[in-house]
Structure 1
Amino acid sequence: MFRPLAAYIGLRYTSSKRRNGFIAFISASSTVGIALGVMVLIIGLSAMNGFEYELKNRILAVVPNGELEGVSEPFDDWQSAQKTLLANPEVVGAAPFIKLNGLLQKGNELKAVQLRAVDSEAEKQVSEVYRYVAQGTWDSLNDPTNNRQVVLGRGIAKELNLELGDTVTVLLSQQSGQSFKAPRRFRFTVSGIIHLSGQLDNNLAYVPLSAAQEIQDKAFKADGLSIKVTDIFAASRIVREAGNQLDHYLYIRSWMTSQGFLYQDIQMVKSLMYVILILVIAVACFNIVTTLVMAVNDKRADIAILKTMGASNTLLRFIFIVHGGINGILGVVSGTILGILISENLTVIIKFIEGLIGHEFLSGDIYFIDFLPSQLALNDVLVVGGVAMIMSVVATIYPANKACSVQPARELGNK
């Protein structure tokens, strides 16, 4: 069977049982180093992709893309403002809201919250929070016979020991001139519990818009409007342009104000991970240089014999490129396979480790999610594998050139 001579000799050198033990050890170290670098880089990038995915599809699906809130004048006719906003081709949804700052009380337990009063049907245009109601129903906020219903985050319910159907007291402050009166008290029934697996579970509380209108006892219908846009990464511009269409003096906010730091942190860590772990792979590739330089010195007599038999410098270069490149190929392939397998099961693996040691790595009280997500991207695998392969091949060029400098007469004359 025909085999290219350079590949044949290079593979024979790699698989030879008579190799110098120290050279074999350095060669194995370079392979393991490349494999670990590729594996860790794939796992790290998959984790960052997972955080980005969860941010976009869990957090930003619930948090409005933008808010337009009246400064001095509320929205007495939010329906006409909604129509104006929806006329903008980059706005796909608009819904009214009223914010109520107060306390939730159950027995002796108190929890400070900002209740968000919404129209349950209109809210579906701008938020997918209704998809995360684990107990009860979101549509309970649209009950015409009883508007004293509240849908809470699981963290709030857990802190106040609330379950579905329990009654909770809402305490709202009231001010008269320069003095404060006793807070007003309103009783609501827990009709839904939201489970988002993160920090938002400790902050979300929704009541019907009609209940807030009665509580406020004012003529206006809404504090402002939440909007959903076509491109969340252009939300700041779109929200600002949409706000300029309304004849109101407004506070204009986008999700970048409250959650933008999360996205920026993820992108920064992702970039740093590329740089740091590529350097790790580069260090492993330097071991290939060391291995080949030592192999060239060990095979000087063989090289001299090949030259006397007519081997060209090009053939010698390819022999040692193949000899060293095998380490890179083995490292890249094994690292890629391990990286893919671990990335696909990373969430399960971390949950198992947490259960084993009894400690949570990500707490929902601190982070926006309470689990380590993973989202494997084919582009990342190809880029990481390709770069590692190129670096390992480039590392063989200097030792391969060094093999061409061997002088047959000098080497064989000393034998």
Structure 2
Amino acid sequence: MYRPLALFLGLRYSQARRSSGFVSFISASSVIGITLGVMALILGLSAMNGFERELHNRVLSVVPHAETTLVRGEMADWQSARQLLESSTGITAAAPLIVLNGLLENGSRMKAVQLRAVLPEAEGHVSAAGRFMSGQGLLALKPGEDGMVLGKGIADKLGAQVGDTLTLMLPDVTASGEDAGLKSPQQRRFRIVSLLEIGGQLDSLLGFIHLNDAQQALNLGDRVQGFSLKTTDLMHAETLAFAAASRLDAPMYVRSWKNSQGYLYQDIQLVRTVMYVVMLMVVAVACFNIVSTLVMAVNEKRSDIAILKTMGAGAWQIRLTFMIQGLVNGLAGSVLGGVLGAGLSRYLTAAIHAIEGWLGHRFLNPDIYFIDFLPSELHGSDVIIVCGSALLMSLLATLYPAWRASGLQPARELGHG
């Protein structure tokens, strides 16, 4: 069967036993180095993909895409304003909102909390928080019943559970002037009807009550402070919300998820970029071993190269021979690293969970991070890009030794023989 001379010799040289054990060690270390670098990079990128997925599926499905609130006072005819917002370009849903800042008390335990007062039916079109709630979720909030959906992190710190009644202390909105700071806070009893458990920092931040209960507590009548918005384009939510809020007569503040959670998205992208650079440098260092291997191989095969050139082998045939020999190492490392990285990434979450159980220590503290586990999601494009980059660097590493081999002079080499 016909095979090109360069391919035949390159594969034969790559499979031949080395006369020096050190050369064999350098060759094996180049394959191992590329394998480990490619595997580590695929695992790291899979983890970053997992964090980005959880950011979208958990945090950004619970946190409204944008919010618009009055600069001062409350809005009376909010039903008309809501219809106007929902008819705006890029806005798919709007829900009325009141925010209460207060202190929750359960016996001797107290915790500052920010509660979102919502209409359960309307909020369901803006947020998917109900997916992470026990029981009926937001639908368990009934007007006039003083029910509360509380983040599990808040409930744990207060030692409370579903069915318990907590005291909510709010500033006295009727107090003014010098006596405002001396007035005792308003107290209102709320019963926990459901728990919110996302599995991260939001469990210690979020709480919900019915809009009517908040209006009664603050003596607002049928007025609201603003609206939660869902947009068609998550990355341009602030721009779309600003354009929609501009259609209202009253001056409005506009905030998007980027104000509260945008740093998470930026951190993920930054870590992804840094990981690409660092891990590709690790692969590049491993590829330098290919240079060492081929330089030593050229020195071993000086007489063979001279004989081949005497028999009519061209410079490019000599070059391709050693380029193929080096690419075999790069291809082996890339394939092994790609297979190991892709395989391990599927079990990364379970493996880290098992290690946490064995050590008795949680790597991601839910009070600090937005999730309390290490997610993983493998993208085929990442595997292709990483393996392709490693193979390209392996090819570049063969150029110098290959050109050096093609420059040998047969007469000088054979004359020494």
- Shorter-chain TM-score: what band? over 0.9
Distance 1:59 1:231 in 2: 16
Partner of 1:11: 11
1:166 to 164, 167, 174: 164
AA in 2 matched with 1:72: R
Q: Percent identity?
A: 51
> CA shift at 1:105, angstroms?
1.0
2:89–2:244: 8 Å Cα contact kept in structure 1? Answer: no
> CA shift at 1:19, angstroms?
3.5
> CA shift at 1:287, angstroms?
1.1
Distance 2:233 2:171 in 1: 38
Q: Deviations over 1:95-152 (max 9, x none)?
A: 00111111111111101101111000000111100111034532111x35x5310001
Distance 1:164 1:73 in 2: 34
1:135–1:164: 8 Å Cα contact kept in structure 2? Answer: no
The CA RMSD measured in Å over matched residues stands at: 1.3
Map of 1:190-201 to 2, 5 A cutoff?
190-201=192-203
Distance 2:161 2:223 in 1: 31
Residue 182 of structure 1: SS of its match in structure 2?
coil
Partner of 1:336: 338
Partner of 1:59: 59
Q: Comparing 208-217 with 275-284, which one deviates more in the overlay?
A: 275-284
Q: Deviations over 1:12-35 (max 9, x none)?
A: 211112442111111111111111
Aligned length: 413
Distance 1:105 1:396 in 2: 70
Distance 1:65 1:147 in 2: 29
AA in 2 matched with 1:357: L
2:18–2:24: 8 Å Cα contact kept in structure 1? Answer: no
Distance 2:399 2:87 in 1: 62
Q: Deviations over 1:312-342 (max 9, x none)?
A: 2121111111111110000000010111112
Distance 1:16 1:155 in 2: 63
Distance 2:222 2:45 in 1: 49
Residue 227 of structure 2: SS of its match in structure 1?
strand
Map of 1:396-407 to 2, 5 A cutoff?
396-407=398-409
1:221 to 213, 220, 223: 223
1:138–1:151: 8 Å Cα contact kept in structure 2? Answer: yes
> CA shift at 1:9, angstroms?
1.5
2:291 to 289, 292, 296: 289
Partner of 1:212: 214
Partner of 1:384: 386
CA distance 1:362–1:301, shift in 2 (3 Å): same
1:132–1:196: 8 Å Cα contact kept in structure 2? Answer: yes
Q: Comparing 331-340 with 5-14, which one deviates more in the overlay?
A: 5-14
> CA shift at 1:176, angstroms?
4.0
Distance 1:19 1:379 in 2: 40
Q: TM-score, normalised by structure 1?
A: 0.97
Distance 2:331 2:260 in 1: 45
Partner of 2:45: 45
Q: Comparing 92-101 with 131-140, which one deviates more in the overlay?
A: 131-140
Residue 27 of structure 1: SS of its match in structure 2?
helix
Distance 1:366 1:135 in 2: 27
Q: Comparing 174-183 with 92-101, which one deviates more in the overlay?
A: 174-183
> CA shift at 1:365, angstroms?
0.5
Partner of 2:80: 80
Partner of 2:105: 105
Residue 223 of structure 2: SS of its match in structure 1?
coil
Residue 359 of structure 1: SS of its match in structure 2?
coil
Partner of 2:262: 260
Residue 310 of structure 1: SS of its match in structure 2?
coil
1:27–1:287: 8 Å Cα contact kept in structure 2? Answer: yes
Q: Comparing 206-215 with 179-188, which one deviates more in the overlay?
A: 179-188
Gaps of 5+ in 2: none
AA in 1 matched with 2:274: L
Q: Deviations over 1:187-244 (max 9, x none)?
A: 1111000110000000111000010111111234211101010011001211111111
Q: TM-score, normalised by structure 2?
A: 0.96
Residue 395 of structure 1: SS of its match in structure 2?
helix
CA distance 1:171–1:277, shift in 2 (3 Å): same
AA in 2 matched with 1:148: D
Map of 1:316-355 to 2, 5 A cutoff?
316-355=318-357
Gaps of 5+ in 1: none
Map of 1:23-42 to 2, 5 A cutoff?
23-42=23-42
> CA shift at 1:358, angstroms?
1.1
